[in-house]
Amino acid sequence: PSMVRGKSDRGDTSVVVVVLETNEVYIVVSLSTAGDTQVICVDPTTGALRHQGKQGEDLFDSEAAALKHITNGSRFLSKSTTYAKAVLGYAVLGSYALLLVATQLSATVPRLPGGGCIYTVAESQWVKIQLQNPQPQGSGELKNIKDLADLDIDGKYYFCETRDITRPFPSRMAIQEPDEEFVWNAWLSRPFKDIGLPGHCVILLQGFAECRNFGATGQQGGLVALIARRSRLHPGTRYLARGLNACSGTGNEVECEQIVWAPQKGGQVIPFNSYIWRRGTIPIWWGAEIKNAVSVEAEIYVADDPYNGTLQYYQRLGRRYGNKSSEVNATSKKKPGMVPIVCVNLLRYAEGKPETILVEHFKESLKYLKSTGKLGNTWIQLINYDWHATVKLKGQQQTVEGLWRHLKAPTMAIGFSEGNYYSVKQQLNECKGSIICNGDGGFCMDNIQNGVVRFNCADSLDRTNAANAMFGLSTSRNSEYNGRSARSLPPGWEERFDSVTGKSFYIDHNTRTTSWEHPCQEAPHKRWKRFDMTFEQFKSSTMLAPVNHLAEIFLLAGDIHATLYTGSKAMHSEILNIFKEETGKFSKFSAAQNVKITLQRRFHNYMNDSSRQKQFEMFLGLRLYKHLPSIPIFPLKVLSRPSGCMLKPVPCITPMADGGSSLLSFKKKDIVWVCQQGADYVELFIYLGEPCHVSQLLLTVSHGVEDSSYPATVDVRVGSSIDALKLVVEGACIPQCSNGTNLLIPLTGRIHPEDLAVTGNSARPDVQESTYLPLLYDFEELEGEVNFLNRVVALSFHPSPMARTAITLGEIEVLGVSLPWVDMLTNSKGVAQVLELLHEKAYTPRDLALRNIADSSSPGNDVHGSERSYTRSSPSVQPGGSGNFVDFLTGDIDVPNQSKITGNTSFGNEDQTNFFDDEFDVNPFATSSEEPVAEVNNHGKSLNFEQMMKLEIKRLYLDLSAAERDRALLSIGVIPATVDPNRSVDYSYLLKLSSLTDKLALLGHSVFEDRANASIGLEKVNSHAVDFWNISENGESCSGGACEVRAVSSLQASATSGSTSLFVECSQCERTACKACCAGKGAFLLLGNTYRDLKIYGGNQGGGYSALADSSVCKSCCNEMIKQALYVDYVRVLHSMRRKGRAEKAALKAVNQVCQLEPNRISDSVHSVQSGLRQLKQLLDDEESLAEFPHASFLHTVETADDSAPLFSLLAPLGSGVHKSYWKAPQGNTSVEFPIVLGGISDVSGVAIIVSSCGYSTSDCPIVEIWASNKIQRDDRTFIGKWDVQSMIVSSPQLYGPENSGSLDEAPRHFKLHFPNPIRCRIISIKMTLPQIGSSSTKFNEDFSDLLSLDESSFIDSKANNSHNSFIHAKRIVVFGSSLPKEMGPDTSVAIMRMRSYVDGSPSFGRFRIPVEAERLRDHDLVLEQYLLPNSPGIAGFRLDSFGVIRPRVTHSPLPSELDMKECSLIRMEDRHLNPAILHIQVTVVKESGKLVVEEYRLPEVKANTPLYFDFSDLQQDARCVIFRLLGDVTAFVDDIAEIDGLSLRNLPLASGLSLSNKVKLYYYADTYEMGKIGSLSAV
Ligand SMILES: [Zn+2]
Ligand SMILES: [Zn+2]
């Protein structure tokens, strides 16, 4: 990869952020390194970035062309335009998206040797983008988002667009492979990586980069740059980030690099040298706390286990500074391969000083490290140098001299990096050192620094600054390069020419000596002489001008570091001026300055440290589950635009040219669509731009003055084509609300009615039982079908019975999860990934790589997802893993454990019996018919909590749904509710347990996050034998032997289970415990006694816990509740794995329905994908392919032969799937019609048919007829032509007979059907008919009135007896022509205006409140009873203000696969989108007559406190009492973070925001004029 791309003459990078009047946002980027301009579109609903790389649509030759396209000339006005010079990051945060751009840059290091400019961000701006996403978000989250946008960026961050500057100069790595330790926007830049534009967001470093020219005035001397990189491993502020953290990083850790080089002249060689050192706080676990804002000293704490992580810290340094090419390291005096790390400790260590304890521990930590013997080649030396004491005692000058003396030897051992840059590669041939290539040229390294000096004081602040600067000054060898130009001399020196020798000599008038050597020229043997100098010698031997320049940038750097850490400038930096001042004395002014800064800092730190810490964490994407708990990591996509359309015209009072597609357009978001008056319902058929799993329907409420005109309910059907629609929700309630309200209707996949019957809400024996709260986990989880090929969404809107006008509609969006099809089908890397996934079958619960996903469902066949027929390859099954399942039910614990599961045992719904051993009486997972109905342990005891959890674990290992479990249980006479753990413990215990489990989940995520960061710069660490939960499936027994705990009774004394005995030490009782007697790692996190160390471990920042995650605790040292919390968390984790597994299976199924992939032929597939792209290009001959999957699809399913390639393969990109395979119709189908919906409105000029590998014979050359249309109605279509393929290809004998195994690079065999003229359309219907059939079959097609009415009988007609053995077949159908820009429908604004005026008029009726006599809340405020006064008016409905709750993303600790840090799958789908939480409100009206009226409403999601009005279907007269009851997934919600504290997300059993208190008001309708003044008081 080239680090410096050809320098184009376009100049600097330009970024324009355009916000249109419609609130659409576009990011227009023209990179300095590229010749073109990319437009990145921000989805106005989800905030997702979109870029397709399509010329003329989002890829342009120039910025001007791009801007013109966006504003469409000037048709769309732009509301605001931001001009910027770099994109620094982007994040979608629920209702907002934040885009960070740099509006002003300063080129602080304009040109590094070998090219590359370092820009410091001088001014930046957060562009805040309001999104239409109505997902409720709390005010606490919103405040945190605001805080993030307040983060101070300017002057403290820098980047380089063309080369890697995260590593010591010069880096060997490419720009896109930075060292993550120093990248501060890794999280914020991810959205750009995800759309394939990684270079469009810079790699941002925090710290300082400056450069100075040190030639005397008017001279081109040398250049010196100081680059300081702050580590991100322990980000944060002074009192919260000290010492080590769980990522083995220390607070305020900075790498400093000083680069000196001669300016380049022409094509000259550039000599350079660089030196690197490091600074940070003491690398042990310690902390400090300010007692209050004015106290003088902070109190210092040292952790109980202060050296945890020190090893990793030094290992990381060793890896970074170890010189890998030791052969060039001439100066290294150490043993080859040793990496010296020299720690210079500047703390006070006199007796009685508070810092002394840290010095002692520092020494101890090094002893400890040596004792571990794990340091390898890293060699650590500690130099204690009490800076303050020495200054006091000896003055500044001698302090500096002393430092130099101390550092001479180590610095010599470490050496410098030096070398030359050659701009032409050939020049490198003579290089003797190691070579680092760089574009056309390269660096020849004469020497590479090996090891590092590291400075610290307590904070890595002022003392460190001062010592750093003095050290840096003495190591800078800037004078060397002066020799090349006119040399400048130190004051008092003179240069003379000796005519005898022809050489210059130098007179030092200060000392009255002469020398042949230039005073600034350092001979190699004198290289280190400055370390021996006195201060005065240094001054007189060195040119002061450059030193002062350098001192100046050290001063600046010190201030930046101090500001980042403490919020104030550096102190005690007056020492840096000692070269300027004659005396070098401590000035009075500085003393006063220091006192002022001290006070400032104290106050600042006390007040702001924690909020600044939070800002840094959010900036880095850390602890988001805490700061922004409801933010999804993978937001959904809007799939109904830009290329979605309406398949049928939407009825309308006024003719609309676009047939309703403007209802899908964001540009027309304020549309009021008026359907005709008096309709019973309005039906919409939406074709999505991409196939997806449909997750949400988002409606923008739109009406005239009467809000009742908007529909009251909606039915949703989805399917992969119009004939495969399935009902997913019926009668979803749409409350009445104000214009423009966004209502989100969460959808599940279709739920099988059988499942619905046995489990879930509707199966609950007593719906009134609202006291039941499944706080531990959803025991009755209903699973909807997951289908990633859904393409058509049909909506039926029904008006409210009270509606007084025509139905109105507004913007409609369909959100879902789509697979990365384009990547998977046409990008060779993506193809390889899918195949690997197929191969590995990731994400089956447990190590459930137990099975091949030999998902045999035939292509195109939508069967309910229960046709599992997995083969079970059992080696990875734990011995005895299946056995004890039943004994929990029978109560017979003492069943001998024998596992006879060997070989392949298949199980599925129909065939699970043999999974269980015959010796068991009862098998709950067998179908009832095959099992004797058993008497279930009437004699035995009922299950205890642990047994119930084990039953669930077993169930999830078997990968059974709750419904399957319930059926199995019912079949043996067990009522599922009796084994529900949520019911097995008493209520107050349930609360405690669930809140403990929630806490564990958050701690687990801290551990996960820290572990991921801790691995940066280090080799991967092996995972531990005892995992997070250590749940033993089979009631493992104590292995005895060395185990001192014996917490688990060993029923079988002779249990030699073969498992290698593993012993750990309990951190509490310090006894040795065997694996079975040890609690999971998670238990340690929950132990109360770790809280004492919290101050050191990061307090409620949660940072420190994870350092403890490697500690173990035995089972007898932790209480029951902790053990049970681990069980609950484990079951939640398995639940989540099951969901992921379901999504993965659905994805693989979808892939197989498009093209059959062969997992064992990755390299072939990659190759054929590449040649497919070439073939297509050849075939298209400059035209566009318009009907490629996933953009295009079939409108209805086409009957396909059993041994055919899948139907979608006809449209799949060339090269995907199996090379020889092709599509065929069933034998006997003599006529087939393919209705293809194109990717967008296009001008179609023809169709190409790629011939199957079997080729044509005389009997199967079809007759092809083609129609074009825009909508699905038959009368809309236009006949294009009829082609007799046989007569066409008479002259093409190569199309006959089986294909020769030709090369993949040849164009495939095909024929083209050109249209007489290009036709503008959206749908192309291609009918193929076998020639020999009589005329009867074509008649059927003429009668074909509406594709919607397509039924089975019409097909049968076409299957006329065919005596021949021929069938219709094809390899691919390619439609070609040119596509039209998206969202460029006809101008409909006049018609839209007309519709709006139709519904404008004054409302006559208003809603008025019905007063209540009394009200009562019960059942955790989920039930509200309102008692009415006698003679109250009839109730028309009620107003409900929506709840201020959020749904947290984190509900369990990370999955084992995440903990292992394996790459995640292709399917980016969050649990909550697969299993949405849906609330219902049930209303019971109690009448005076005693009669009850019950109604139930499914609640949409809306922003908090939105008033929603629900009309009853009838007016409720004579009501005495109205009871409101909140039902559904109430336990899935929590309160906004502003209202909760500390670590726990849930203080109450339920979110207090779900309380019905003050949320409900009853109303009646009345004429607003008649109500007059009274009305305005009681309006609702
Ligand atoms: Zn044991
Ligand atoms: Zn113990």
Report yes or no: 630 and 94 within 8 Å, Cβ to Cβ.
yes
Q: Point out the ligand nearest to the CA of residue 1079.
A: 2
d(C-alpha 852, C-alpha 835), whole Å: 14
Q: 958 pLDDT exceeds 80?
A: yes
> How far, in Å, is the centroid of ligand 2 from the Cα of 1079?
9
Q: 1389 pLDDT exceeds 70?
A: yes
Lowest mean pLDDT among 1024-1038, 1071-1085, 1167-1181, 1532-1546: 1532-1546
Strand partners, 301: 287
pLDDT of residue 436: 87
d(C-alpha 755, C-alpha 746), whole Å: 19
Q: Point out the ligand nearest to the CA of residue 1049.
A: 1
> How far, in Å, is the centroid of ligand 2 from the Cα of 1116?
6
Task: Report the range out of 582-586, 1089-1093, 1233-1237 with the highest average pLDDT.
Answer: 1233-1237
- pLDDT tens across 1276-1329, in order? 889 999 999 888 888 888 888 887 766 666 778 899 999 999 999 999 999 999
> How far, in Å, is the centroid of ligand 1 from the Cα of 304?
27
> How far, in Å, is the centroid of ligand 1 from the Cα of 920?
29
pLDDT of residue 1519: 93
> How far, in Å, is the centroid of ligand 2 from the Cα of 1113?
5
pLDDT of residue 1440: 97
> How far, in Å, is the centroid of ligand 1 from the Cα of 1106?
26
> How far, in Å, is the centroid of ligand 1 from the Cα of 1130?
22
1342 vs 1126: which has the higher pLDDT: 1126
pLDDT of residue 572: 61
220 vs 1203: which has the higher pLDDT: 1203
> How far, in Å, is the centroid of ligand 1 from the Cα of 1036?
10
1099 vs 350: which has the higher pLDDT: 350
138 vs 328: which has the higher pLDDT: 138
CA angle 382, 386, 391 (to 5 degrees): 145
Could you tell me what percent of the chain has a pLDDT over 70?
74
Q: Point out the ligand nearest to the CA of residue 1116.
A: 2
Taking residues 775-784, report their average pLDDT: 90
Taking residues 1179-1187, report their average pLDDT: 89
> How far, in Å, is the centroid of ligand 1 from the Cα of 1045?
5
- pLDDT tens across 1397-1439, in order? 887 777 778 899 999 999 999 888 899 999 999 888 999 999 9
Confidence label for 127 from pLDDT (cuts 50, 70 and 90): very high
> How far, in Å, is the centroid of ligand 1 from the Cα of 884?
21
> How far, in Å, is the centroid of ligand 2 from the Cα of 1075?
12
> How far, in Å, is the centroid of ligand 1 from the Cα of 1119?
17
> How far, in Å, is the centroid of ligand 2 from the Cα of 1078?
8
Q: Point out the ligand nearest to the CA of residue 1041.
A: 1
Q: 771 pLDDT exceeds 50?
A: yes
Q: What share of the chain is helix, strand, coil (3-state, %, to 5)?
A: 30, 25, 45
> How far, in Å, is the centroid of ligand 1 from the Cα of 1066?
11
Q: Point out the ligand nearest to the CA of residue 1067.
A: 2
> How far, in Å, is the centroid of ligand 2 from the Cα of 111?
61
- pLDDT tens across 1468-1492, in order? 788 888 889 999 999 999 999 989 8
pLDDT of residue 1336: 41
Q: 578 pLDDT exceeds 70?
A: no
Confidence label for 693 from pLDDT (cuts 50, 70 and 90): very high
pLDDT of residue 1096: 44
> How far, in Å, is the centroid of ligand 2 from the Cα of 1044?
9
Lowest mean pLDDT among 492-501, 579-588, 893-902, 1385-1394: 893-902
CA distances from 902 to 873, 906, 954 (A): 8, 11, 18
> How far, in Å, is the centroid of ligand 1 from the Cα of 1076?
6
713-719 and 790-798 as β-strands: parallel, antiparallel, unpaired? antiparallel
> How far, in Å, is the centroid of ligand 2 from the Cα of 1544?
26
pLDDT of residue 602: 59
pLDDT of residue 925: 43
> How far, in Å, is the centroid of ligand 2 from the Cα of 1112?
9
Lowest mean pLDDT among 442-456, 580-594, 616-630, 1265-1279: 580-594
Q: Point out the ligand nearest to the CA of residue 1065.
A: 2
pLDDT of residue 1160: 60
> How far, in Å, is the centroid of ligand 2 from the Cα of 1055?
23
> How far, in Å, is the centroid of ligand 1 from the Cα of 1003?
27
Beta strands in 235-349 (DSSP E): 254-261, 270-279, 286-289, 299-302, 339-345
Lowest mean pLDDT among 331-345, 1049-1063, 1506-1520: 1049-1063
Q: 445 pLDDT exceeds 80?
A: yes
> How far, in Å, is the centroid of ligand 2 from the Cα of 1139?
36
Q: 860 pLDDT exceeds 70?
A: no
Q: Point out the ligand nearest to the CA of residue 1043.
A: 1
Q: Is 932 exposed, middle or buried (0-12, 13-18, 19+ CB in 10 A)?
A: exposed
Q: Point out the ligand nearest to the CA of residue 1084.
A: 2
Lowest mean pLDDT among 387-391, 474-478, 1239-1243, 1511-1515: 474-478
Taking residues 323-352, report their average pLDDT: 68
Q: Point out the ligand nearest to the CA of residue 1089.
A: 2
> How far, in Å, is the centroid of ligand 2 from the Cα of 1085?
14
Using N-to-C axis directions, what is the helix angle for 462-475 and 544-566, rounded to 10°?
150
CB burial readout 398-429, b (16+ within 10 A) else e: ebbbebbebbbebbebbbbbbbbbbbeeebbe
CB burial readout 1223-1258, b (16+ within 10 A) else e: bbbeebbbbbbbbbbbbbbbbbbbbbbbbbbbbbee
> How far, in Å, is the centroid of ligand 1 from the Cα of 1024?
18
> How far, in Å, is the centroid of ligand 2 from the Cα of 1100?
26
> How far, in Å, is the centroid of ligand 2 from the Cα of 1047?
9
Q: 677 pLDDT exceeds 90?
A: no
> How far, in Å, is the centroid of ligand 2 from the Cα of 1123?
13
Which run of H or of E encompasses 196?
none
Q: Point out the ligand nearest to the CA of residue 1113.
A: 2
> How far, in Å, is the centroid of ligand 1 from the Cα of 310?
31
Q: Point out the ligand nearest to the CA of residue 1045.
A: 1
Q: Point out the ligand nearest to the CA of residue 1117.
A: 2
- pLDDT tens across 245-266, in order? 888 888 889 998 988 888 766 6
- pLDDT tens across 1056-1069, in order? 444 456 788 888 88
Q: Is 1344 exposed, middle or buried (0-12, 13-18, 19+ CB in 10 A)?
A: middle
> How far, in Å, is the centroid of ligand 2 from the Cα of 929?
49
pLDDT of residue 220: 55
pLDDT of residue 1090: 47
Tokens of 173: 């790595």
Could you tell me what percent of the chain has a pLDDT over 90?
29
pLDDT of residue 1401: 74
844 vs 875: which has the higher pLDDT: 844
Confidence label for 1162 from pLDDT (cuts 50, 70 and 90): low
Task: Report the range out of 555-564, 703-712, 1040-1049 with the highest average pLDDT.
Answer: 703-712
> How far, in Å, is the centroid of ligand 1 from the Cα of 1070?
14
Lowest mean pLDDT among 704-713, 819-828, 1157-1166, 1422-1431: 1157-1166
pLDDT of residue 1512: 92
pLDDT of residue 30: 95
**pLDDT averaged over every residue in the chain:** 78
Confidence label for 732 from pLDDT (cuts 50, 70 and 90): very high
Confidence label for 701 from pLDDT (cuts 50, 70 and 90): very high
d(C-alpha 1532, C-alpha 549), whole Å: 61
> How far, in Å, is the centroid of ligand 2 from the Cα of 1043?
11
Cα diameter, the chain: 130
Q: 592 pLDDT exceeds 70?
A: no
1418 vs 478: which has the higher pLDDT: 1418
pLDDT of residue 844: 45
Taking residues 307-313, report their average pLDDT: 87
CB burial readout 466-481, b (16+ within 10 A) else e: bbbbbbbbbbbbbbbb
Q: 759 pLDDT exceeds 90?
A: no
Q: Point out the ligand nearest to the CA of residue 1061.
A: 1
Q: 528 pLDDT exceeds 50?
A: yes
Taking residues 662-687, report their average pLDDT: 85
> How far, in Å, is the centroid of ligand 2 from the Cα of 1114?
4
Q: Give 1330's contacts (C-beta < 8 A, 6+ positions apart).
A: 1230, 1231, 1259, 1260, 1262, 1263, 1362, 1364, 1366, 1367, 1368
- Give the three-class secondary structure for 199: helix
- pLDDT tens across 25-55, in order? 999 999 998 889 999 999 999 999 999 888 8
1411 vs 212: which has the higher pLDDT: 1411
Task: Report the range out of 295-304, 800-809, 1090-1099, 1532-1541 with the highest average pLDDT.
Answer: 800-809
1251 vs 1387: which has the higher pLDDT: 1251
223-230 and 205-213 as β-strands: parallel, antiparallel, unpaired? antiparallel
d(C-alpha 742, C-alpha 815), whole Å: 13
Q: 893 pLDDT exceeds 60?
A: no
pLDDT of residue 327: 43
- pLDDT tens across 1525-1577, in order? 998 888 889 888 765 544 444 455 678 889 999 999 999 999 888 877 777 77
> How far, in Å, is the centroid of ligand 1 from the Cα of 246?
30
pLDDT of residue 1159: 60
> How far, in Å, is the centroid of ligand 2 from the Cα of 1132?
27
CA distances from 630 to 492, 531, 614, 627, 633 (A): 70, 57, 17, 9, 9
Q: Point out the ligand nearest to the CA of residue 1032.
A: 1
pLDDT of residue 710: 92
Q: 853 pLDDT exceeds 60?
A: no
